[in-house]
Structure 1
Amino acid sequence: MLSSREDFSYALYQYTPQIAPAIIAAALFVLVEALGYGGRIWSHFDPTGLPGYIIQSLLILIAPALFAASIYMVLGRIIALVGGETHSWIKLKWLTKIFVIGDCISFVVQGGGGGIQAGGTLDLLHLGEKIIVAGLFIQIFFFGVFITSAISFHLCIRSQPTRLSGLARIPWQSHMAILYTTSGIILVRSIFRVVEYLMGNNGFILRHEVMLYIFDSILMIAVVALFIWRHPGTLFLTSSKRGSWGRTSGAEFDLLENR
Structure 2
Amino acid sequence: MSKDDTKQDMYGDKHPSIVPAYIFAFLFTCFTFIHIGNMIKYRGWFFLPFVLGGLLMSAGYHSKHMSLRDRTSLIKAAIAEIGILVAPALNAASLYMMLGRLTLMRPQKPRLSIIGRRWITAIFVIADLLSFFVQALGIGTIVSQQDLKKGEKPDEKLRKNGMKIVVVGACIQVFALLLFVLNTVIFQKREKKHYGGSNIIDPKLDHGMTKTKLFLVKNGKGADWHVLIGTMYAVSGLILLRSVFRAIEFLPSLADKVMGEDWALYCLDSLPMFFVLVVFAFVYPPAVLNEAKKRMEQAGMNNA
Go from structure 1 to structure 2 and tell me whether the alpha carbon gap of 1:91 and 1:233 turns closer, same or farther (over 3 Å shift): same
In structure 1, the residue matched to 2:138 is: 113
In structure 2, the residue matched to 1:144 is: 178
Q: Which has the higher helix share?
A: 1
- What is the number of residues matched between the two proteins? 224
Structure 1 residue 234, shift from structure 2 partner: 2.1
Q: Distance in 1 between matches of 2:276 and 2:65?
A: 23
**AA paired with 2:125?**
V
In structure 2, the residue matched to 1:91 is: 116
Instruction: Tell me how large the CA RMSD over aligned residues is.
Output: 2.5
Structure 1 residue 87, shift from structure 2 partner: 1.2
Q: Distance in 2 between matches of 1:90 and 1:54?
A: 37
SS of the residue corresponding to residue 87 of structure 1 reads coil
In structure 2, the residue matched to 1:10 is: none
Structure 1 residue 83, shift from structure 2 partner: 3.8
Match of 1:201 among 217, 238, 255: 255
In structure 1, the residue matched to 2:266 is: 213
Q: Distance in 2 between matches of 1:28 and 1:87?
A: 31
In structure 2, the residue matched to 1:130 is: 164
Structure 1 residues 144-190: Cα deviation after superposition (integer angstroms, max 9, x where no partner): 11110001111111222167736276411100000000001100110
Q: Distance in 1 between matches of 2:254 and 2:79?
A: 19
**AA paired with 1:122?**
D
Match of 2:203 among 167, 175, 180: 167
Q: TM-score, normalised by structure 1?
A: 0.78
Is residue 234 of structure 1 aligned with residue 234 of structure 2? no
Q: Distance in 2 between matches of 1:220 and 1:74?
A: 18
Go from structure 1 to structure 2 and tell me whether the alpha carbon gap of 1:180 and 1:76 turns closer, same or farther (over 3 Å shift): same
**AA paired with 2:274?**
I
Structure 1 residues 179-236: Cα deviation after superposition (integer angstroms, max 9, x where no partner): 0000011001100111111143321x22531211111111111000100110001244
**AA paired with 1:95?**
I
Go from structure 1 to structure 2 and tell me whether the alpha carbon gap of 1:39 and 1:125 turns closer, same or farther (over 3 Å shift): farther
SS of the residue corresponding to residue 186 of structure 1 reads helix
Is residue 243 of structure 1 aligned with residue 297 of structure 2? yes
Q: Distance in 1 between matches of 2:285 and 2:256?
A: 41
Q: Distance in 2 between matches of 1:75 and 1:243?
A: 19
In structure 1, the residue matched to 2:127 is: 102
Structure 1 residue 30, shift from structure 2 partner: 4.7
Query: Is 1:54–1:117's contact at 8 Å kept on the other side of the alignment?
Result: no
Structure 1 residues 126-149: Cα deviation after superposition (integer angstroms, max 9, x where no partner): 222111111001111111111100
**AA paired with 1:200?**
L
Give the stretch that moved more between structures: 208-217 or 96-105.
208-217
